[in-house]
Amino acid sequence: MKRRIQVASLVLAGMAVLSESRVVLPSRPTIWLDSGEPKLLSAYDKKGTILRAFGAVKLYDEPRLTLNANIVCLASDNRDNIYIAYAYQNRIDKYSPEGAMIFSADRPLRYEVKNVTKMEVFRSGDMEREFAWPSVSSVTKGIWLDYKNRIWVLTFLKQPNRFLTFDETENWTDCFEFEVFDSDGILLFKVPFPNVRFDKFSIYDDRLYLIDSQHESCVYEYNIIEEN
């Protein structure tokens, strides 16, 4: 079942919310670029004090490649475990509430994952300049957990254009796919993606929401139906 809800605007934060008003956020890049402490995430209490920093950072000699490689999506379960899906790496991690890694996994993809620099031409009016610019593979669009603590990962099936989206003529069912894992990282099933434009997704109870803030300014609501 699907229905469309009109909205004026909607902003989603890249954080995991834990019990006792604690949150986990990506650490400021200066923390792991300048300090020599490669801790990807920081946990804060309700007063904004950092409780701990944890998580592995993939480092490159080129700082811009390091920044791209460590862009993540976050989610948490009802036991305060933290799940991380890397936007430009084939990698899904699970951490305990204390920041200890429980598992790190990858999955089969239809394309090779690249994180390199290549020369790009940038134009502004009559000016034209060539720069070395990061060229990365888009792997994951988002991650969320449902009411059964199953991990829903939205995976790219093909690579987007240079603006990180797909052309109007594309069927978005061919561009994305939901991969659903159990809490131990075992693949349970896959769900085809509907042919609708969207920016982000979220799950609450047995409802999945696709948020389109750019084109139709609406939220598509889907019911998660269990098969016996």
Candidate from 125-134, 170-179, 181-190, 216-225 with smallest mean pLDDT:
125-134
Is 127 a domain residue?
Answer: yes
Is 30 a domain residue?
Answer: yes
Is 155 a domain residue?
Answer: yes
Query: What was the pLDDT predicted at 179?
Result: 98
Query: What was the pLDDT predicted at 34?
Result: 62
- Residue 65: pLDDT band (50, 70, 90) is confident
Give per-residue pLDDT as tens, 186-206: 999 999 999 999 989 999 989
Is 179 a domain residue?
Answer: yes
- Residue 221: pLDDT band (50, 70, 90) is very high
pTM: 0.87
Is 228 a domain residue?
Answer: no
- Residue 3: pLDDT band (50, 70, 90) is low
Number of residues written out for the chain: 228
Averaged pLDDT score across all residues of the chain: 87
The yes-or-no verdict on residue 67 having pLDDT over 80 is yes
Four-CA torsion 46, 51, 55, 57, nearest 10 degrees = 100
- Look up tokens 């750019």; give the residue: 214
- Look up tokens 């200066």; give the residue: 30
Domain interval for residue 171: 2-223
Q: What is the total count of domains within the chain?
A: 1
Is 163 a domain residue?
Answer: yes
Query: What was the pLDDT predicted at 24?
Result: 92
Query: What was the pLDDT predicted at 144?
Result: 95
CB 55 within 8 A of CB 84: yes
Average pLDDT for 154-167: 90
Separation CA 184–CA 75 (nearest Å): 14
